[in-house]
Chain A
Amino acid sequence: MEIDKQFLAAPVKTSVDKFQLLPEFLKVRGLVKQHLDSYNYFVRTHIKKIVQANDLITATKDPSIYLRYKDVRIGEPSMVLDGVTEKLTPQKCRLLDTTYTAPIYVNIEYVTGSHGSKTTQMKRDVIIGRMPVMLRSCCCILHGKDEEELAKYGECPLDPGGYFVVKGNEKVLLIQEQLSKNRIIIDTDNKGCVQASVASITAKTKSKTIIRMEKEKIYLLLNKFGTKVPIMIVLKAMGMESDQEVVQMIGRDPRYSELLLPSIEEGRALSILRDIFLANIPVDQDNFRSKCIYVAVMVRRMMEAILNKDAMDDKDYVGNKRLELSGQMLSLLFEDLFKSMNEEAVKSIDKILAKPSRSSRLDISQYIVKDSITFGLERTLSTGNFDLKRFGVNRKGMAQAVARLSYIATVGHMTKIIPQFEKSRKVSGPRALQPSQWGMLCPCDTPEGEACGLVKNLALMTHVTTDEDEGPLISLCYTLGVESFEYLSGEEVHMPNSYLIIFNGLIIGKHRRPQRFSNAMRTLRRAGKIGEFISIFVNEKQRCVYIASDGGRVCRPLVIADKGVSRIKEHHMKELKDGVRTFDSFLKDGLIEYLDVNEENNALIALYEDNAKEKTTHIEIEPFTILGVCAGLIPYPHHNQSPRNTYQCAMGKQAMGNIAYNQYCRTDTLMCLLVYPQRPLLTTRTIELVSFDKLGAGQNATVAVMSYSGYDIEDAIVMNKSSLDRGFGRCIVMKRMVSVCLKYENSTSDRIIKPQREGQDCEKMQILDDDGLAAPGQTIRADDIYINKQSPIVTRVPVKSPMALPDSSYRSSREHYKGSVGESAVIDRVALFSDRDNNMKIKFMTRQTRRPEVGDKFSSRHGQKGVCGTIVQQEDFPFSERGICPDLIMNPHGFPSRMTVGKMIELLGSKAGVSCGRFHYGSAFGEPSGHADKVETISETLVKHGFSYNGKDFLYSGITGEPLQAYIFMGPIYYQKLKHMVLDKMHARGHGPKVMMTRQPTEGRSNNGGLRVGEMERDCLIAYGTSMLLYERLMISSDEFVVQVCRKCGLLGYYNFKLKTGICSTCKNGDNISTMKLPYACKLLIQELQSMNIVPRLKLTEA
């Protein structure tokens, strides 16, 4: 009994380490669950709805001829090759440049018949097109496969999926951010008038309704109406009989009436009102009452905003945003294509029926053409241009090629959110960090410059909802005591004692006890009776309860707390550890729930269990989950100046390292890999969660923070030559070259022939194998031939025996390696395959192994980039008492202005890590929960191993041998090599190619172009008075040209070589010819003007 007492007296153990939930969460969810969920929803549910909604095709003339879609499903990914269906794997598609698609099967019921006799027939599994399959979705063959099986398919187990493979290119449909549809938004227009607007989007139409207060009067603005319409007229048109009713409905408060008065004093189109005006409100048998109520609520909220500016909605508030994901976009696209296909089918049936004499049997199923859907989907995905006339959508850049520079770039690309409009606007509102982004969108990860703050990234734990069925939920609301307006008078809409219940933007009724109602709904949700992503949000200010089940809301899991005590107890976590529990069981048992941004407003969320108060309703799982994947790589980001973290987010995507486990089997156009990538010594929990420790992009370099040699100014880095010799920063650059053996119209085709081993050009062909293709392992230099190809001379006109043409009817079409002189590469792989047009295609992968050189760009994980300034012998480098020599030296001036304290802690932590043999952690905000080592403990470890607590070592100069006059801050820092390398950028030219038309030097490095003396440079030279230099640059070095000018007529003549005189072709003689120099571009201008009937005449005077 005594023991019991003691046990009872002991304080309740509060803090439970909930970190384990995170890996569990990511295990069920993966990193790109939002894409997969959305796609799965489309493939499983939405596509059926779309087909159901458009399931009937009938001939316009004869409605008895019809085709009905019964069911639709997506099959297994496959392709048809020469009539044989072959299973597809994503890796195969990447290599073969094909699209990873699965057939769309439908079951149809249709009418066949001829000459009056009609029979209905059923057909199963008719293919109407091919659907691009998202990798790792439920249609993909990789779905639910374990590592070993994935390896068998040639797939990297760490690859997140969530993208498509279209014509061999990986494409991701980026997450689109848009304003909530079907919701009332109160804001001001550009003149400052308060307005309430609703963007209504239904399956059928799309409209925007604005109610605006202008000069004390309230108007309705609708695209369909030419002018603004007074609101009273609209309300009366919809059947509100008296002003009194209107006033009642809006609210009887005298202040509201006053505002309404001018509009009342001022006081056609039924179908517009019914279908377009507030299209999201269904109208039942011309009963406009629900619309009236909606308008009334809109007007009331608008007036509230006029009286009280606080009631204005914030467009940038994340709760007012919806994220559109690939599934939604694809469904829109599919719907459009499906309808077009059906229309086409109807057209062609009508055409057949219109023919007076039909002999053959009419088979309506013949007229569904499957190509239009297949091509439409494929084209949209490969170009990224969504052009749907039916929905008035025309957006560009929706699909992007997946960034494969590093693993993090890939994952980061999947979580990227792009805005839909307003890119070039100068307003700061949408770009600013919104407090409601907390935990949903990463506060760090946004690009710099133009799109700063507009392009966002998801945080680690964010979930994006998909649509949920509304019907059962609405009826549930009514059973929980929601009073429908059918039984209420207009007066009661704004009764102070009850709350409006708004479901997905639809006003469904009133409830007298909103708190009770919402509690009931939440209890049901926690019990798993309704979907876990449904949000119930009580808005006290607006006296509304918002219930949302629509897709595209962002939400995140939180631990539920009762009166400040977390529901998750120690034993739950133990069960999780033992594998008895999963994340889903936490959800099911009501320990955890998802909250969306709106519902978060009803919750009081404690950061840690310790600071939970009586009123706390939820507790965060882990604070570092407010960051996204890219920002999660930064150690101690909470010690850095915030823009530095943003810079690192951008740079982490350019870091070289390992891309995927299957990187050597990939044939990307450009791949940058590190030869010896490492995992960071100072890790974070996010790094482990996203497996960056398995596919690292950088190396742990021992860094000494000191100045050295003067080649380290402006963030330049001094590197140790011996470190480079031993493989630091060594990278492999792989590039792809493609060559196609074409087949021509006259069934001739290109051929590859044996290389010449002797004679002319044999040197250039040395690397060719006997099959005429470059051999793997050979070194290829600039201008070497890598494929000895020949093309037939005649390709259009039919020829005799096209397969056995004589050698003379071929011309050489060898392909040369386009590299700069002195630069060599190695043929890594040669892959032959036949592409979709059945041409033979040859992919050559070339490889270059590069060691760092002066000018290559490096960066730590704290937004501190710098180029290699000089490379110094090891013996010249300083060394410590233990003989440690740094790999690179960084200038201390990098610290004061950047304030990257995190980098210093990283150095300390890694130094302690290498000393004691344990990876140290630096997760964001991790110190209280033990996910980041504290500086004090790190210092203790350092001291224990004989280092100074502050990480500064006693160093000797390698040059003089004497000790340095300061202690040097030295230790390992994880350094990334960025893709920008001097070798790819350096460029100079003496002579070189010229543009044919103007005879001026070409432009750009790739064309071996000249360096332009531009307008401003020219201005400088003029100002300086260096006329000869100008003359040389602009004339002699560019497009000098000698012309014959006739002094008499002022036109250009020509030089007759026979007579050795210049002759004026206008005057027909050479009497008055002068020779002079002109820029060729000027001569061109003169001639072009002449061609337009303008005669420019040159008047010459003696200089």
Chain B
Amino acid sequence: MVSANEEQRTEKIPVWDLPDVPSGNLPAHLELQRTRTVCTNDAPIHTENIQYSGAYASMGVDNSMRFEKFCKNFRVEVIRLGDDEMEFDMVGIDASLANAFRRILISELPTMAIENVLVANNTSVVQDEVLAHRLGLIPLKVDPRLFNYKSENDQPSEKNTIVFKLHSRCEKKSSRINVKSSELKWLPGGSEFALSTEKPTQDSTSKVKTYTSFTCSQDSLPEFSSNPIAPTHDDITLAVLGPGQEIELEAHAVKGMGKTHAKWSPVATAWYRMLPEVILLQEIEDEKAEELIKKCPVNVFDIEDIGKGRKRATVARPRSCTLCRECIRGDDWDKLVALQRVKDHFIFTIESTGALPPDVLFTEAVKILEDKCERVITEMS
């Protein structure tokens, strides 16, 4: 396909008449193959990255990854940064690295999520397990870095557990109520449920043993004193209570990672796409131009006046291309327009669930990758 385009542009020349490629540069079609993924009508081509350092050695081109080169080329540009969503461009990086960040964001960044639910009373129609599952999926607004992992044998303490209480009741003769996530109340002092197995001690003054053993109240800690822990969203429906129904429970959140369960994933999703590049292979003028503009549902193209009442299509907003491939569909349109992706330019989007802002999430992900690399290096040395 691409070579066909080449042919169209340049007259057919015998191979031996081709001009010498200046050494240190790749011929155009190889350069295209190396740096772009071309999205043709039937399938994307040149999707793979050429990793081998000596891939172009015969042409005198060094394909090795060099730190200086990386430092020179690499740049990050934040396009959009919201409370829980951000978009940024990452240029000059390999797909495998960009993917590593994505994977870490999804599954290896820890957050806090409800793991154990102690149900004291549940007369609602929602079963205990289902309710617990729903509770688990509620994102919590708390910085997981302030907590430790709780291993199986650990006592729940203020350093590894957050306790919430939910007590909701629908009075008889009233109408149904919705139990929302806002009803989850943070118990900074730990569990309030007494351990039933413990015999009540003779000494009534001593503290009743509960399911947690907090040494101090969490709200006395400086991190939480000003911003109490709560679910990020107040309006997640947990259950619907009919008249006379009641839910009383305690939910214990612990630190965990997305690979164990999706509830610990700090992102709703994180993904990237490669920078779209739309190329007009020929001048597209007048009716054709109008047609092209009409074809594109996301307004990639614009019309430019080139005088004498003639119009020419231009690529105005290649970034918004969603790759619907309408512009290269049918009637040899693929000879006029080429859709490409820049292989080392990633438009990264992070949708945070709210525990941490997305920019922090990304830096955390970078740190984790760093750790991993260091671990590999130490293991190998």
Q: Footprint of B on A, CB under 8 Å?
A: 664, 675, 721-722, 725-727, 730, 732, 777, 826, 828, 847, 849, 873-875, 879, 881-883, 885, 942-949, 953-954, 956, 958-967
Contact = CB atoms under 8 A, between A and B. Distances in A.
Nearest to B39: A954
A725 B47 CA distance: 32
Contacts of A873: 107, 259
A944 B297 CA distance: 5
Contact of B323 (A732, A881, A959): A881
A828 B129 CA distance: 11
Given A849-B127, A961-B95, A967-B44, A948 B324 contact: yes
Interface of B: 37, 39, 42-45, 47-49, 95-100, 102-103, 106-107, 119, 122, 125, 127-130, 133, 137, 258-259, 261-263, 265, 269-274, 297-298, 322-326, 329, 341, 349, 351
A847 to B, nearest CB: 7
A732 B131 CA distance: 13
Most buried by B among A944, A945, A948, A954: A954
8 contacts: A727-B137, A732-B127, A874-B262, A946-B324, A948-B324, A961-B98, A963-B274, A964-B47
Given A725-B262, A949-B329, A958 B103 contact: yes
A965 B127 contact: no
Most buried by B among A727, A953, A962: A962
Given A943-B324, A944-B297, A965 B47 contact: yes
Contacts of A883: 269-271, 349, 351
Main secondary structure of the interface of B (DSSP, over half): mixed
B326 A726 contact: no
Contacts of A828: 127
A953 B44 CA distance: 11
Contact of A875 (B102, B128, B341): B102
A674 to B, nearest CB: 11
Contacts of B258: 722, 874
Nearest to A953: B323
Contacts of B43: 965-967
Contacts of B324: 942-943, 946-949
Contacts of B261: 725
Top 7 nearest A-B pairs (CB, nearest first) are: A961-B99, A725-B262, A946-B322, A883-B271, A722-B262, A961-B95, A875-B103
A584 to B, nearest CB: 37
Given A721-B262, A943-B297, A826 B47 contact: no
Most buried by A among B39, B49, B102, B322: B322
Contact of B273 (A664, A730, A881): A881
A946 B107 CA distance: 29
B325 to A, nearest CB: 5
Contacts of A954: 39, 44, 323
Contacts of B49: 962
Contact of B44 (A726, A949, A960, A963): A963
A248 B99 CA distance: 96
Contacts of B129: 826, 849
Contacts of B323: 881, 948, 953-954
A963 B137 contact: no
Contacts of B265: 722, 874
Nearest to B130: A675
A777 B39 contact: no
Contact of A777 (B97, B128, B137, B351): B128
Nearest to A883: B271
Most buried by A among B99, B130, B329: B99
Contact of A943 (B44, B137, B326, B349): B326
A963 B341 CA distance: 10
Given A721-B262, A960-B95, A777 B322 contact: no
Contact of B128 (A826, A945, A948, A953): A826
A755 to B, nearest CB: 16
Nearest to B322: A946
A963 B263 CA distance: 27
Nearest to B108: A875
B96 A960 contact: yes
A726 B130 contact: no
Contacts of A958: 99, 103
A976 to B, nearest CB: 20
B128 to A, nearest CB: 6
Contacts of A885: 269
Contacts of A721: 262
Contacts of B263: 725
Contacts of B102: 875, 961
B103 to A, nearest CB: 4
Contacts of B329: 949
A962 B46 CA distance: 10
Given A849-B129, A961-B98, A881 B262 contact: no
A72 B326 CA distance: 75
Given A944-B297, A954-B44, A949 B326 contact: yes
Contact of B297 (A875, A945, A960): A945
A151 to B, nearest CB: 12
Nearest to B325: A948
Most buried by A among B42, B107, B127: B127
Given A726-B137, A849-B127, A946 B39 contact: no
A722 to B, nearest CB: 4
Contacts of B270: 883
Nearest to A851: B133
B326 A875 contact: no
Given A873-B259, A965-B44, A664 B125 contact: yes
B44 A946 contact: no
Contacts of B47: 962-965
Contacts of B97: 961
Given A875-B103, A947-B322, 4 more contacts: A777-B119, A882-B271, A956-B271, A962-B47
A671 to B, nearest CB: 13
Contacts of A875: 102-103, 106-107, 259
Given A777-B122, A879-B271, A946-B322, A965 B95 contact: no
A849 B130 contact: yes
A961 B262 contact: no
Contacts of A947: 322, 324
Nearest to A665: B125
A583 B77 CA distance: 66
Contacts of A722: 258, 262, 265
Contacts of B322: 881-882, 946-947
A954 B271 CA distance: 13
Contacts of B42: 967
A595 to B, nearest CB: 47
Nearest to B121: A777
A949 B323 CA distance: 11
A880 B137 CA distance: 24
A311 B98 CA distance: 79
B358 to A, nearest CB: 13
Given A664-B125, A954-B39, A962 B95 contact: yes
Contacts of A948: 323-326
Contacts of A946: 297-298, 322, 324
Nearest to A721: B262
Contacts of A725: 261-263
B44 A964 contact: yes
Nearest to A945: B297
Given A949-B326, A962-B48, A727 B271 contact: no
Contacts of A879: 269, 271
A573 to B, nearest CB: 37
A955 to B, nearest CB: 9
Nearest to B320: A946
A951 to B, nearest CB: 11
B123 to A, nearest CB: 10
Contacts of B349: 883
A43 to B, nearest CB: 37
